[in-house]
């Protein structure tokens, strides 16, 4: 499992996955009940990186992974991916980074990097008013921030294998470039999976 040195609060969960995981160091939890085994899964707090479902190795500029210190937006319904159509079960599970996509305007800010001071949090992002808690940002800070990354900074990788440390401006440019890349399918809402804390 991948945990960032900038994300020490995930380390204990990551260590449990490595020592007790059923699948070579990950997936220590089991789905199903009453003897109905449905598979294994990992604790969402054991990983520091999200995955962009629009990543495509035939389009090297598409974003592949990113640090989890992003608020995101709610899911957008059905999405066409290179591997087929998907839809998340509900708004709690689904996340999107809509900047530059067909399903969202490019002036949104809920794709910005969240800092341990609450910088980058917004009421129009996922769980907006709830994570902001009126004037108290502690709920949003606990869910989205990583103590080793300031507001406006994060890391991401692209399908060409490059890894970058960026600010909000370079991250926005990377997301827009990925959404506009020619060829193949790209999820119209910029669907992602991101391991937030709750």
Identify the pLDDT of residue 160.
Answer: 93
Residue 19: which domain range?
1-47
Overall domain count for the chain: 2
Same domain, 80 and 97: yes
- Give, for all 198 residues of the chain, the pLDDT tens digit: 588 999 998 888 889 988 988 888 888 888 888 788 888 888 888 889 988 988 888 899 899 999 999 988 877 777 777 677 777 766 556 788 888 887 776 556 778 899 999 888 887 777 777 767 666 688 888 888 999 999 999 999 999 999 999 999 999 999 999 988 888 778 888 888 888 776
Identify the pLDDT of residue 133.
Answer: 66
Same domain, 52 and 118: yes
Q: How far apart are CA 19 and CA 57, in angstroms?
A: 32
Question: Which residue, of 29, 47, 65, is where some domain finishes?
Answer: 47
Same domain, 53 and 130: yes
> Alpha-carbon Rg of the chain, whole angstroms?
17
Residue found by looking up tokens 């990992």 in the block:
42
Question: Which residue, of 47, 65, 82, is where some domain finishes?
Answer: 47
Identify the pLDDT of residue 174.
Answer: 92
- pTM across the whole model: 0.84
Q: How far apart are CA 74 and CA 197, in angstroms?
A: 15
Same domain, 77 and 134: yes
3-state secondary structure 110-139: CCCECCCCCCCCCCCCCCHHHHHCCCCCHH
């Amino acid at each position: 499992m991948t945990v960032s040195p900038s994300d020490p609060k995930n380390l204990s969960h990551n260590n449990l996955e490595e020592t007790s995981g059923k699948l070579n160091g990950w997936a220590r939890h089991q789905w199903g009940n009453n003897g109905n085994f449905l598979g294994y899964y990992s604790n969402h707090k054991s990983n520091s990186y999200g995955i962009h479902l629009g990543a495509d190795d035939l389009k090297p500029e598409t974003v592949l992974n990113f640090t989890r210190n992003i608020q995101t937006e709610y899911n957008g319904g059905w999405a066409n991916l290179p591997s087929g159509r998907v839809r998340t079960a509900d708004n709690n599970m689904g996340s999107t980074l809509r900047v530059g996509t067909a399903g969202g305007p490019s002036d949104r800010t809920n794709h910005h990097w969240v800092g341990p001071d609450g910088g980058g949090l917004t009421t129009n992002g996922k769980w907006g008013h709830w994570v902001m808690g009126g004037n108290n940002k502690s709920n949003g800070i606990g869910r989205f921030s990583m103590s080793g990354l300031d507001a406006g900074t994060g890391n991401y990788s692209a399908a060409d294998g490059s890894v970058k440390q960026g600010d909000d401006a370079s991250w926005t440019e990377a997301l827009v470039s990925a959404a506009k890349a020619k060829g193949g399918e790209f999820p119209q809402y910029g669907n992602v999976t991101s391991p937030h804390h709750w």
